[in-house]
Structure 1
Amino acid sequence: MPQEWGNLLVVTKDELIPKYYNCISTLKSEVHRYKDLPYGIKKVQKGGNGRQMFIDFDSLSKNVQDSLGDPRKMRHPLISFFEFDAIATRYYNDFRFEDGTPLKENFKEEYIINASVLISAERLKEARLSEWKKLRKTSTRGIMSTIIRDITTFNEFLPKLFNVTHTIASSQRGFDRIWKPFFESLGDGLNFESLISGKLKNQNRKLMTEEMMDLLNDMFAGQDYKPSRTEVADQYQAFLNGQLDIINKETAEIYDPANPNFREMSDNSIIAWLGKWENKIGTFAKRSGDRQKLMQQFSPWHKLTKIKEAGTLISIDDRQPPFMYNEQRKRAWFYMGIDLGSEAWTCWVWGKDKKGIIIEFYRQMVRNYSEWGFNLPLGLECESSLNSGFKDTFLRNGKMFDRVNIYRNRARSKVVERKFEELRYRHEKSRLGWLARPHALKEENQKSGEEEIIIPFDTIVDQSLSDIETWNNSPHSVHKEKTRWEVFCEMQNKNTQATHWTAILPHIGKTEISSCNAGIIKFRSTTFVLGLEGEIALNDNLIELLKNIDGKEFTIYWLDGNDGDVLKAMVYYNDTMLCDLVPHPEYARSIHERDEQGQINRELMSAYENTVNKFMAQRKREIDQVLIIDHRKKTLNNKFQIGGRKKYTPNTDIPKEVLADTEENTYNHNTATPTARRWASNF
């Protein structure tokens, strides 16, 4: 609608495009053509930076002016009262029919305009009544006739003002059918629903009752076999005719065809209702035997951003390379893990049987990361079938990995599945003996007419390992100037943590029984000493460990590295993981052959030995000499005697010494030393 801008009447470019000009370029060309001429279209304000482009209304052609309408010439009583009603706009945009469907856009527009015109007409009516009262008109008869005339003639101005028209009837009878229900049926409120056509309501009314839909879904998905929708429609008609009984297995309820909720409906309608999404999502879930296809058809998927750093998340799963190694069509089993940040394969194991391969996979992961000098990944995503048994042991959050996601029958949730597909079709497909999938969608991936070829097992494994090498040495999808392996080595996540050996060794480690003697443990045909956190234990730490295990048998949990040597070994005693086993430090006997590391080993072993010797000396100094007198009887009585045996009888009389008179007189009882034999002298 043209608007006043200072002393000018202007229009915006949006009012001219595309009704009068195809695009903004055409309008600008037209403005530029007449810029310096005394006639033609003129621009009075340049658009851009939040400003509207304004075109002088009077510079437009007469046809365009008449089409837009000149508000200076237009005179109509409803113009000053009309505006699009906000409540009506919200109501019709949010309206839903009985079956839940909304209004179509053209009907929304029609009802919003009609409601806004009626509300404006009501305002005009009130203003007109007020004027009549001022003029002291006692009768209001005929006022509605003027309102109907104004509403009808308003359609001459609406297109020019707002590019719309209303559809309100112009006859008295037709107008009354709209006006009275809209204003009078709800008292003080406005009955916006009264403007909606009854035909639309009938078309969208809920013909299918809840009880009827529940029964049809039960018939479609609750029978012992899988009927088609056509069969269900036929069964329902037979049920209504009394020719077929339906019994609920859980409640033993016999459904009554006389129930008014079970209505007559055509077969096509029943088939259509059973095919609706809200019904299929339940019935297909009940009937489906392929969870993967069910999830693809109904379950929404998440859109996730790509992992940026190596060591953040590893995705693992099992696969069988598409080659067979014997006449029984046996295929090799692989279990593989790919680092999602670097896209590099970091762990792989293989075998002829799937059983037992999973534990070896986690062992190999620890071996690889330890050999390469990296910490284990922060997160793990895996499938449920082989890993669910470990969710309460080493796959619990915070043990081997900081966060573990175990997916149950959700192949598309694991990135590794898409990487397997790439291995299959980009690396393996060109090889001799490649097996196509039975139901491949693309023709080039379907089975050919050639005979199947048997490939030796070792060849299949070697080719798969070659594919891993090629893959890891290929360019990264984002950092194209680097290989996937280079990204893995150079862009490790800084938040990764050292391997939590105490938490994982009891579950993935191998076991062996051994003992400790003088702080030395014999294990794997060599010797070890006690340690903590990979370092040799000394001082109080060593003494406490020896108190617990020296001279005792215990269990050693250990894991070998890729070179076959002991990668990690820990002592487990009395339900406690006590300490590490550290290789026994060794050095050359001759000082002339002893290198720097040998000297370090000598000092470490000396400190280890001195800790024990120092503790031994301390304990020795703490010992005091004591005398023990045993008063315990060795027999209960002396009833048994051996005849003729000469027994020793101790003399209990105290011997007396006869002294001379002179000596007796001079004897000093305070200072004389007794001459009798002391009992202590017997010892």
Structure 2
Amino acid sequence: MPRNWGNILVVTKDELIPRYYNSLSALKVEIHRYKNLPYGIKKVQKGGNGRQMYIDFDSLSKGVQDSMGDPRKMKHPLLSFFEFDAAAVRYYTDFRFDDGTPLKESFKEEYITNASVLIAAEKLRQARLTEWKKLNKTSGRGLMPSIVTDITTFNEFLPKVHNATHTLPSSQRGFDRVWKPFFQSFDIGLNFESLISGKLKNQNRKLMTDEMMDLLNDMFAGQDYKPSRTEVADQYQAFLNGQLDIINKDTAEEYDRTNPNFREMSDNSIIAWLGKWENKIGTFAKRSGDRQKLMQEFTPSHKLTKIKEAGTLISIDDRQPPFIYNENRKRAWFYMGIDLGSEAWTCWVWGKDKKGIIIDFYRQMVRNYSEWGFNLPLGLECESSLNSGFKDTFLRNGAMFDRVNIYKNRARSKAVERKFEELRYRHEKSRLGWMARPHALKEENQKSGEKEVIIPFDTIVDQSLSDIETWNNMPHSVHTDKTRWEVFCEMQNKNTQPTNWAAILPHLGKIETSSCNAGIIKFRNTTFLLGLDGEIALDDNLIRLLKYVNGKEFTIYWLDGNDGNVLKAMIYYDDIMLCDLIPQPEYSKSIHERDEQGEINRRLMNAYENTVNKFMAQRKREIDQVLIIDHRKKTLNNKFQIAGRNKYTPANNTPEEVFTDADENIYNHNTNKSTGRSWASNF
């Protein structure tokens, strides 16, 4: 529908395509043809970058204008009230008949339009009734006939404004049969179903009622034991014959066998209905105790192409190497991550409790990738149990990783699970003390008759690390002439981003408090400078940072590297992750011992110092000398006086004293005669 844009009336390209122009290119050709002519179609705003292309409505041909309708000329009482109702769109889009069949598209559009027109008519009725009351027209007689007339004439405008027509009756009697059921419970909701034709409902009636199917499913999956489908069919026949009662445990209500929805049906039919996929998927989910097997049977699996580049996606999870380290059958916990493009293990931590190693795992990942000189992976897939608590902090999309997928109890969704299986059966199985799975399918993977062997914890860890080394040095599955580690180093994804330290340090970093004095920060028994983006801040950036923190106390979030030194440190002040901390450059005081790096460090420190000195000089130059004359009175009055004091008067700014002749001789000394000692007499 045309709308106002400033002082002109405009339409979008979507309102012209494909009704009036076959394609966008055809529209652009037409616009270009009349671009420099005083007539023809004119574009008033270019589209792209989130903006709509706007076309001047008055530049369109008269036929198009008449077809679309000019809102400046169209006058109808329903125009200001009509809009497609969101609830109606959702209802008719999601509607299903008893047999599960949805509405055809033509019926959807008809019912959505009819419902929206009725809602607009009710708003018009309320507004008109209010106006009548203002005019002291107490009787509402004639109100509904006027609404029916408005609805009937609205079909002259509806196609032009919204490209739709309604099918509501034009007679008063026929309209009442639609109006009253639709608004029968207007206070609690609209009866959208009343507009659906009864013929359509009869065409889609189910032989098996919903109540009957719900009861059979409850009997099959809601009992304390697992009955067979044959048993359920037999129980249902006994229920109908009055030989068996069924009570709902949640509501304590007894099912009524006289309910007409509980129909007679043969045992074979009941067994067949219970065996249908749409029923099994619910009942088996209720009865099954093995979620993984349930997913294998009912949840569709995805066919995914192999990740081509390293750094694209890392898959992580916890595992326990199949060895015990004490008499209580305790096993070590590892948390590991594998780069799916290179198939190389890139992060691993271990401990005796898996909950205590998850934060260490992410810290170690940052350390490893930083030490190797690579950006963190673009994507992460992980399990929910240990990672869900971080989904709103550093595991939010765009923080540590560009995209994070957290799977809840879906082992087959994580590629790392299949890599763990390969570790277990191809690397660890041959070792002393290897434990078989309790219910392994293959005989060679089942438990043997040998007694369990206890392996020292440190030995288990060392063997696992050895397996990681062996794994990473093995040939890649696609690039067989390279090892997995070589593929990781040589085939990094070009779209990886530098580590977003500001987003992850508040959650993964360690915390200390320090302060800044003259641009120097003492931290971890050494000194640091203010920096931005990993470089020492200079010029305006340094002055801006010093205004924040110099002479003040602040929080430092930092992370250590594999060597124990500071890997990254940032200042957090006034609810802002403000800047980086850069180790202060060092150089030899002696020019003879100063190497090339020392000379670079000297220049950096000179630039850092000069930035502060220049700002100091600038601020000094901006200060002017001033003379302050204070006219403020310190006293309320002069009632208290001390006798004998010479008084200050405005007529004589200096106090006057009267001298005697003797006094005058004392003060009138000979100015040519020096009373001071010479410099030579001081020696």
Distance in 2 of aligned mates of 1:548 and 1:348: 39
Partner of 2:193: none
Long gaps (5+) in structure 1: 1-97, 101-204, 659-683
Report how many aligned residue pairs link the two structures. Answer: 454
Instruction: State whether structure 2 residue 367 is matched by structure 1 residue 370.
Output: no
SS in 1 for 2:412: helix
User: Cα offset for 1:271?
Assistant: 4.0
Q: Does the 8 Å CA contact 2:239/2:246 hold for their aligned counterparts? A: yes
Q: Give the AA of the match of 1:533.
A: D
Q: Does the 8 Å CA contact 2:322/2:435 hold for their aligned counterparts? A: yes
Worse-superposed segment, 414-423 or 374-383: 374-383
TM-score, normalised relative to structure 2: 0.62
SS in 2 for 1:431: coil
Partner of 1:338: 338
Partner of 1:233: 233
Residues 524-563 of structure 1 correspond to what in structure 2 (within 5 A)?
A: 524-563=524-563
Partner of 1:389: 389
Residues 635-674 of structure 1 correspond to what in structure 2 (within 5 A)?
A: 650-652=647-649, 654=652
Partner of 1:616: 616
Distance in 2 of aligned mates of 1:516 and 1:380: 38
Instruction: State whether structure 2 residue 592 is matched by structure 1 residue 571.
Output: no
Residues 92-131 of structure 1 correspond to what in structure 2 (within 5 A)?
A: none
Q: Give the AA of the match of 1:350.
A: W
Q: Give the AA of the match of 1:483.
A: T
Distance in 2 of aligned mates of 1:442 and 1:531: 60
User: Cα offset for 1:396?
Assistant: 1.5
- Provide closer, same or farther for how the CA distance between residues 640 and 475 of structure 1 changes in structure 2, counting only shifts above 3 A: farther
Instruction: State whether structure 2 residue 212 is matched by structure 1 residue 212.
Output: yes
Q: Give the AA of the match of 2:352.
A: K
Q: Give the AA of the match of 1:650.
A: K
Residues 236-270 of structure 1, C-alpha deviation per residue, up to 9 Å, x if partnerless? 23312213222445666543323454344555654
SS in 1 for 2:562: coil
Q: Give the AA of the match of 1:323.
A: F
Residues 337-377 of structure 1, C-alpha deviation per residue, up to 9 Å, x if partnerless? 10111100011111111113111111111111111111111
Distance in 1 of aligned mates of 2:317 and 2:644: 90
- Provide closer, same or farther for how the CA distance between residues 585 and 442 of structure 1 changes in structure 2, counting only shifts above 3 A: same
Partner of 2:580: 580
Partner of 2:415: 415
User: Cα offset for 1:503?
Assistant: 1.4
- Provide closer, same or farther for how the CA distance between residues 657 and 396 of structure 1 changes in structure 2, counting only shifts above 3 A: closer
Distance in 2 of aligned mates of 1:355 and 1:637: 80
Q: Give the AA of the match of 2:433.
A: G
SS in 2 for 1:582: strand
- Provide closer, same or farther for how the CA distance between residues 617 and 271 of structure 1 changes in structure 2, counting only shifts above 3 A: same
Residues 181-196 of structure 1 correspond to what in structure 2 (within 5 A)?
A: none
Residues 269-291 of structure 1, C-alpha deviation per residue, up to 9 Å, x if partnerless? 54454233332111112233432
Q: Give the AA of the match of 2:359.
A: I
Partner of 1:39: none
Worse-superposed segment, 333-342 or 271-280: 271-280
Partner of 2:141: none
Residues 193-342 of structure 1 correspond to what in structure 2 (within 5 A)?
A: 208-223=208-223, 226-248=226-248, 254-265=254-265, 267=267, 270-342=270-342
Distance in 2 of aligned mates of 1:637 and 1:448: 111
- Provide closer, same or farther for how the CA distance between residues 315 and 657 of structure 1 changes in structure 2, counting only shifts above 3 A: closer
Instruction: State whether structure 2 residue 443 is matched by structure 1 residue 446.
Output: no
Distance in 1 of aligned mates of 2:447 and 2:251: 50
SS in 1 for 2:496: coil
Residues 430-579 of structure 1 correspond to what in structure 2 (within 5 A)?
A: 430-579=430-579
User: Cα offset for 1:441?
Assistant: 1.2
Worse-superposed segment, 538-547 or 384-393: 384-393
User: Cα offset for 1:625?
Assistant: 2.2
Partner of 1:146: none
SS in 1 for 2:474: coil
Distance in 2 of aligned mates of 1:262 and 1:390: 50
Q: Does the 8 Å CA contact 2:646/2:656 hold for their aligned counterparts? A: no
Distance in 2 of aligned mates of 1:632 and 1:230: 107
Distance in 1 of aligned mates of 2:539 and 2:480: 54
Greater C-alpha radius of gyration: 1
User: Cα offset for 1:631?
Assistant: 5.3
Partner of 1:93: none
SS in 2 for 1:615: helix
SS in 1 for 2:354: coil
Distance in 1 of aligned mates of 2:270 and 2:499: 61
Residues 450-502 of structure 1, C-alpha deviation per residue, up to 9 Å, x if partnerless? 11111111111100000000000001111111110111111111111111111
SS in 2 for 1:564: coil
SS in 2 for 1:511: strand
- Provide closer, same or farther for how the CA distance between residues 237 and 602 of structure 1 changes in structure 2, counting only shifts above 3 A: same
SS in 1 for 2:404: strand
Residues 124-203 of structure 1 correspond to what in structure 2 (within 5 A)?
A: none
Distance in 2 of aligned mates of 1:622 and 1:329: 77
- Provide closer, same or farther for how the CA distance between residues 207 and 621 of structure 1 changes in structure 2, counting only shifts above 3 A: closer
Q: Does the 8 Å CA contact 2:310/2:487 hold for their aligned counterparts? A: yes
SS in 2 for 1:355: helix
- Provide closer, same or farther for how the CA distance between residues 321 and 646 of structure 1 changes in structure 2, counting only shifts above 3 A: farther
Q: Give the AA of the match of 1:325.
A: Y
- Provide closer, same or farther for how the CA distance between residues 260 and 587 of structure 1 changes in structure 2, counting only shifts above 3 A: same
Q: Does the 8 Å CA contact 2:530/2:537 hold for their aligned counterparts? A: yes
TM-score, normalised relative to structure 1: 0.62
SS in 2 for 1:620: helix
Q: Does the 8 Å CA contact 2:317/2:336 hold for their aligned counterparts? A: yes
Q: Give the AA of the match of 2:624.
A: D
Identical-pair percentage? 88
Instruction: State whether structure 2 residue 425 is matched by structure 1 residue 425.
Output: yes
User: Cα offset for 1:315?
Assistant: 0.6
Distance in 2 of aligned mates of 1:373 and 1:290: 43
Distance in 2 of aligned mates of 1:244 and 1:357: 56
Q: Does the 8 Å CA contact 2:366/2:376 hold for their aligned counterparts? A: yes
- Provide closer, same or farther for how the CA distance between residues 234 and 625 of structure 1 changes in structure 2, counting only shifts above 3 A: same
Residues 636-680 of structure 1, C-alpha deviation per residue, up to 9 Å, x if partnerless? 899999xxx98956354857899xxxxxxxxxxxxxxxxxxxxxx
User: Cα offset for 1:310?
Assistant: 0.8
User: Cα offset for 1:515?
Assistant: 0.5
- Provide closer, same or farther for how the CA distance between residues 584 and 235 of structure 1 changes in structure 2, counting only shifts above 3 A: same
SS in 1 for 2:541: helix
Distance in 1 of aligned mates of 2:535 and 2:320: 42
User: Cα offset for 1:597?
Assistant: 0.4
- Provide closer, same or farther for how the CA distance between residues 294 and 617 of structure 1 changes in structure 2, counting only shifts above 3 A: same
Distance in 2 of aligned mates of 1:484 and 1:320: 23
- Provide closer, same or farther for how the CA distance between residues 263 and 549 of structure 1 changes in structure 2, counting only shifts above 3 A: same
Partner of 1:663: none
Residues 156-184 of structure 1, C-alpha deviation per residue, up to 9 Å, x if partnerless? xxxxxxxxxxxxxxxxxxxxxxxxxxxxx
Worse-superposed segment, 307-316 or 632-641: 632-641
- Provide closer, same or farther for how the CA distance between residues 595 and 255 of structure 1 changes in structure 2, counting only shifts above 3 A: same
Distance in 2 of aligned mates of 1:447 and 1:410: 26
